[in-house]
Amino acid sequence: MAGVTSAAEPAAEVVKVTRAGAQPSTPGPAANFTGQVRVDTAFKAQAPGRAGGGIVTFEPGARTAWHSHPLGQTLLVTAGVGRVGQWNAASQEIRPGDVVWIAAGVKHWHGATRTNGMRHVAIAESLDGKTTDWMEQVSDTQYQ
Ligand code: MN
């Protein structure tokens, strides 16, 4: 019957659970972040899906470098207090429950405050296999 998955097809191709602990926590690479940053539960959709991301934890003072996303990005803040900054605009405080949308190509950063850590889920779709265009670090002056 068309459209019905037969028992012979591997169910893992339809629904795949990656178990907690199956992926080690990884540090945010120094080239793209300032301070202590940890990435957990990284995920990447299988084609034709494009979404990827993970849970990113920033210790106080930690932040991304300036960057942009070819198809935009959604951040779901889950813990702490943080900030999101846009080039040539004042940065904004973000707190748990906040949903942040960053439009395609907008130069920005996100991270903790000086005194509080922050955690968010980050989701971005890839264009030609790339979700992020990384730029220079956010200086202490820009972070103030
Ligand atoms: Mn971003």
Domain ranges of the chain: 26-126
Q: Residue 144 Cα, ligand 1 centroid: separation in angstroms? A: 19
- Please say whether the beta carbons of 119 and 55 come within 8 A: yes
- Protein residues near ligand 1, an ion, with CB under 5 A: 73
Both tokens of 12, joined, read 């893992």
Q: H or E segment at 143? A: helix 140-143
Ligand 1 centroid–CA 122 distance in Å is 8
Q: Examine the pLDDT at 140 and tell me if it is beyond 60.
A: yes
| CATH superfamily name and code, 26-126 | Jelly Rolls (2.60.120.10)
Query: Tell me: the pLDDT tens digits for 75-122?
Result: 999 999 999 999 999 999 999 999 999 999 999 999 999 999 999 999
CA 121 vs CA 3, 20, 111: distances in Å: 34, 16, 12
CB 64 within 8 A of CB 100: no
How many A from CA of 91 to the centre of ligand 1?
13
pLDDT tens digits along 1-52 = 445 555 565 655 689 999 999 999 999 999 999 999 999 999 999 999 999 9
Biggest CA–CA distance in the chain, Å, is 64
The CA 1 to ligand 1 mean position distance, Å, reads 44
Rounded CA-CA distance 17/12 in Å is 8
